[in-house]
Amino acid sequence: EVQLVESGGGLVKPGGSLRLSCAASGFNFHSYTMNWVRQAPGKGLEWVSSISSSSNHIYYANSMKGRFTISRDNAKNSLHLQMNSLRAEDTGVYYCARDGAAAGREFDFWGQGTLVTVSS
Amino acid sequence: QSVLTQPPSVSAAPGQKVTISCSASNSHMGNYFVSWYQQAPETAPKLLIYDNSKRPSGIPDRFSGSNSGTSATLDITGLQTGDEADYYCGAWDSSLSAVVFGGGTKLTVL
């Protein structure tokens, strides 16, 4: 059974940093592109970043470039998101999502999410 | 402003059919392989449709998708109260090197 379990969320002050993690199990983690998707309270889904299976292709949404860094450890089946210079608008639930193997970059499995709150 | 546009809400009675549209502001819909997600309250999104019209295993055939090149649609037939949720379309935009989502559509089953 595919499982994705996020951790690392919490309350942080504006300008602060936070590191999210996603523990993967039940599939060959090293073979899949992985993503972070976030959702502000009461709002829609927003893609944050993706990283290819061997970390050689990394993409970010424009509003996260230069502040967020995605990484993975295939030996430990883990995905990470280092978030710096956090702003109030970064508040939301952050989901780890697996990229399916089809043409359209669909997200076929999602974690339960971890809540990040940026507030003074 | 989302690259993909969805109606904020749709509604229909149990047993009826509903269609949710997804259009692109950049005329790139014909280049997109659209996915659809269902998100019930306080839960993670769930993949319903990928590559415009394919269903993952376990998704009932009441859910179907299509892409005409100008807009994508999600059809849900035989509506059930359990279908009440938010529905999102999404796609990889190669010109942006980014995944884009629609703003979401809230389905109410009256």
Residue-wise pLDDT for A44-77, tens only, equals 999 999 999 999 999 999 999 999 999 999 999 9
Q: Is B101 on the interface with A (CB under 8 A)?
A: yes
- Residue B63 scores a pLDDT above 70: yes
A2 closest CA partner among B46, B14, B91, B60: B46
pLDDT at A101: 76
Distance CA A62, CA A54 (A): 22
pLDDT, mean over chain A: 96
Distance in angstroms (rounded) separating the CA atoms of residues A14 and A21: 20
Structure confidence at residue A42 as a pLDDT band (50, 70, 90): very high
Contacts of B83 (CB under 8 A, 6+ apart): B38, B76, B107, B109
- What would the mean pLDDT of A25-38 be, rounded to a whole number? 96
Interchain pair A110, B44: CB under 8 A: yes
Q: Which long-range contacts (CB under 8 A, 24 or more apart) does B40-45 make?
A: B40/B84, B40/B85, B40/B86, B41/B85, B44/A95, B44/A110, B44/A111, B44/A112, B44/A113, B45/A37, B45/A45, B45/A95, B45/A107, B45/A110, B45/B88
Determine the Cα–Cα distance for residues A68 and A48; give it in Å rounded to an integer. Answer: 9
Contact A95 B101 (CB under 8 A): no
Mean pLDDT of A81-95: 97
CB contact under 8 A, A44 and B37: no
Residue B47 Cα, gap to closest chain A Cα (Å): 6
Q: Is the pLDDT of residue A103 over 90?
A: no
Tell me A74's DSSP state.
T
Looking at chain A, the whole-number percentage of residues with pLDDT higher than 70 is 100
Any A CB within 8 A of B72 CB = no
The pLDDT score that the predictor gives to residue A102 is: 77
Cα–Cα distance, A26 to A24 (Å, whole number): 7
User: What tens digit of pLDDT does each residue of B74-103 get?
Assistant: 999 999 999 999 999 999 998 899 999 999
Q: In this predicted structure, what is the pLDDT of residue B27?
A: 79
Res. B29 pLDDT band, cuts 50 70 90: confident
Nearest-CA distance A46 → chain B (Å)? 7
Whether pLDDT at B1 is above 70: no
Q: In chain A, what residues touch B33 (CB-CB under 8 Å)?
A: 102-106
Inter-chain CB pairs, A–B, below 8 Å:
73
Q: Determine the pLDDT at residue B10.
A: 97
* Better-predicted residue by pLDDT, A2 or B29: A2
Secondary structure (H, E, C), chain B = CCCEECCCEEEECCCCCEEEEEEECCCCHHHCCCEEEEECCCCCCEEEEECCCECCCCCCCCEEEEECCCEEEEEECCCCHHHCEEEEEEEEECCCCEEEEECCEEEEEC
Choice among A9-13, A76-80, A97-101, B105-109 with the minimum mean pLDDT: A97-101
CA distance B7 to chain A (A): 13
